[in-house]
Amino acid sequence: MTPAPQAGPSRDIALLLAGQAVVTTGLMTLVPIMPLYLRDLAGPAAAHWSSLALAAPGVGALLLAPFAGSWCERWGYRRPLLLSLSAFTASLLLMGLSTHVAGFMVGRLLQGASAVGVLLTICIGRVSTPGMRGRAFGMQESAVATGALLGPVLGGVLQDWWTVRPMLLAVAAANAVLTLLLAWRLREPAPQALPGAGSSRGFAAMLADASLRRWLLAGCLTQAGAFALVNVFALYLQQRYPYDALLGSKTGFLHALGWLAAMLASPLWGRSATAARPCAYSCWPPAAAPSRSRCCRLPMRSGRSARSGSCRARCSPRSRNPCCPIAAPACPRVCTAAPPASPRAP
């Protein structure tokens, strides 16, 4: 019988998810309307500064985010998270109070340097139990989508009718309150004995994994394409509809539509990740030896046949398909390929 989840982890995860929603709201408020907002700070050079402002958090994150894991290993999880949330609050205050583009840019750099998104993800994964981890990450994506919905819509409306500064300050105040709540309620997670603990893998050793390199490349290209569009989308609408008085509202609304789908679909992916085990299995050609067959990395429920090709994957702790891309000990269930015992095999 699976024990019921304790109240402590659920409460901590709820606070972390609230922090994720507030952080994402602060991050996404200005993203779709950046050229429109910077017209008051940079004048005719707003388009140029908009590109730099959108890239600034990435520069800060590139410099400091890779060290987030080592910070947690050295000082625990609670202290780096609280420092990161405090730095993010300071960045919002700096952005909201700056009357010159230089101060605004410093705030954007500090946003990325806080590494708040990485540390929130680490802490959510560390606080949640193994049985609820997939669901917790699905709820985190919903919290991200919620903030990505609220930020652009409210920011666009305020840009048209008033100013975005009060919203930046309000998000900073909300983030400060959540930081205090986490400082009061969040406890340092108990240490866990993880598979492979004690073996250190450097960054170069990790990049030697071809599968990981492909995932990293896919993530980089996805982010590059998304932000390349965001950078010029408001300018495109401004050029096409130069006399539209509600340009900021419409830009924010259009930007938020994609995140609405993410908010609705992410809990389904989270439950699927909890119930299914990602296994690499051989699926084609059926007559070839397992070492020569092609691999399909698809989530598969344990004990069920894969309806791809004419063979089926079975997880075994003793043997493993040579083409499985998941290196031990990270793969909890290792895979071998075998044909079905009968046409009616489950």
Domains of the chain, earliest start first: 7-189+204-275 (1.20.1250.20), 277-338 (no CATH)
pLDDT band for position 87 (50/70/90)?
very high
Q: Supply the Cα-derived Rg of the chain in whole angstroms.
A: 23
Judge whether residue 122 has pLDDT over 80: yes
Q: What is the pLDDT of residue 190?
A: 64
Answer whether 53's CB lies under 8 Å from 105's CB. Answer: yes
Percent of the chain with pLDDT over 90: 18
At 62-83, the pLDDT tens digits run 888 778 777 777 888 888 899 9
| pTM more than 0.85 | no
At 143-176, the pLDDT tens digits run 988 898 898 889 888 888 888 999 999 999 999 9
